[in-house]
Amino acid sequence: MPTVVVTGATGAVGAATVESLERRHANVVKLSRPDFDLSSFASVRAAARELNRDRTHIDALLLIAAVYAPAYKKSAEGLELMLTVNHLAPFLLTNLLRDRLEGGGRVITVAAPSSTRVDLARLMDRDRFSAFHTFGATKAANLMFTFELARRAKRWDVRANAFHPGHVRSELMREQPRPLRFVTRLLSRDPERAGQDLAELALSPAKAGTTGWFFKGLKRIDPPRSTLDEGQQAALWRRSAELVELEGGF
Ligand X SMILES: NC(=O)c1ccc[n+]([C@@H]2O[C@H](COP(=O)([O-])OP(=O)(O)OC[C@H]3O[C@@H](n4cnc5c(N)ncnc54)[C@H](OP(=O)(O)O)[C@@H]3O)[C@@H](O)[C@H]2O)c1
- Site residues (vs ligand X, CB under 6 A): 7-8, 10-14, 33, 36-39, 64-67, 85, 110, 112, 139, 164-165, 167-168, 170-172, 188
**Smallest separation, CB 44 to ligand X (Å):** 9
Judged by CB, which is closer to ligand X: 105, or 191? Answer: 191
**Smallest separation, CB 117 to ligand X (Å):** 18
Q: How many CA atoms lie within 13 A of 195 on its CB side?
A: 24
User: 198: closest CA among 63, 101, 66, 95?
Assistant: 63
**Smallest separation, CB 34 to ligand X (Å):** 8
**Smallest separation, CB 246 to ligand X (Å):** 19
Amino acid at the residue 33? R
Judged by CB, which is closer to ligand X: 176, or 210? Answer: 176
Say how far residue 48 (Cα) sits from the centre of its chain. 15
**Smallest separation, CB 139 to ligand X (Å):** 6
Judged by CB, which is closer to ligand X: 104, or 217? Answer: 217
Over its C-alpha atoms, the chain yields an Rg (Å, rounded) of 17
Distance CA 23, CA 17 (A): 10
**Smallest separation, CB 124 to ligand X (Å):** 18
What's the order of all strands across the beta sheet hosting 60-63?
Answer: 27-31, 3-7, 60-63, 106-110, 159-164, 214-216, 219-220
Judged by CB, which is closer to ligand X: 104, or 113? Answer: 113
Judged by CB, which is closer to ligand X: 97, or 112? Answer: 112
Residue nearest to ligand X (CB): 11
User: 87: closest CA among 47, 38, 21?
Assistant: 38
Distance CA 202, CA 108 (A): 7
Judged by CB, which is closer to ligand X: 107, or 168? Answer: 168
